[in-house]
């Protein structure tokens, strides 16, 4: 369980750091004339990605929890 938690946390930190420091280049907004718009797009992307990481983590926990409870019921 701790291994899965650590892997998920490292994945989330890595993705968010890449988006924070490289998203303007990745999205092609580095040479955008309106810097305020570029940073709003970047921050929106980071916020949405953080939310999706949290949702996917909760989804994985629900699936693993239901599988674990099924296995426990089989042993009894």
How many structural domains compose the chain?
1
Q: In the chain, which stretches have pLDDT less than 50?
A: none
Q: What is the pLDDT of residue 1?
A: 65
Q: Give the torsion sign (CA, 48, 52, 53, 54).
A: positive
**Confidence at residue 24, expressed as pLDDT on a 0 to 100 scale:** 86
**Distant-in-sequence, close-in-space partners of 16: CB < 8 Å, separation ≥ 6:** 46, 49, 50, 53
At 4-20, the pLDDT tens digits run 778 888 888 999 999 88
pTM of the model: 0.67
- Lookup result for tokens 């239901």: 66
- For residue 44, the model assigns a pLDDT of 93
The residue range of the domain holding 67 is 2-75
The radius of gyration computed from the CA coordinates of the chain, to the nearest angstrom, equals 18
Host H or E run for residue 1: none
């Amino acid at each position: 369980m701790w291994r899965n938690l650590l892997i998920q946390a490292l994945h989330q930190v890595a993705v968010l750091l890449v988006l924070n420091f490289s998203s303007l280049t990745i999205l092609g907004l580095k040479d955008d004339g309106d810097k305020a718009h570029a940073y709003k797009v970047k921050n929106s992307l980071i916020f949405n990605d953080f939310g999706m990481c949290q949702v996917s983590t909760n989804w994985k926990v629900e699936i693993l929890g239901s599988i674990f409870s099924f296995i426990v019921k089989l042993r009894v």
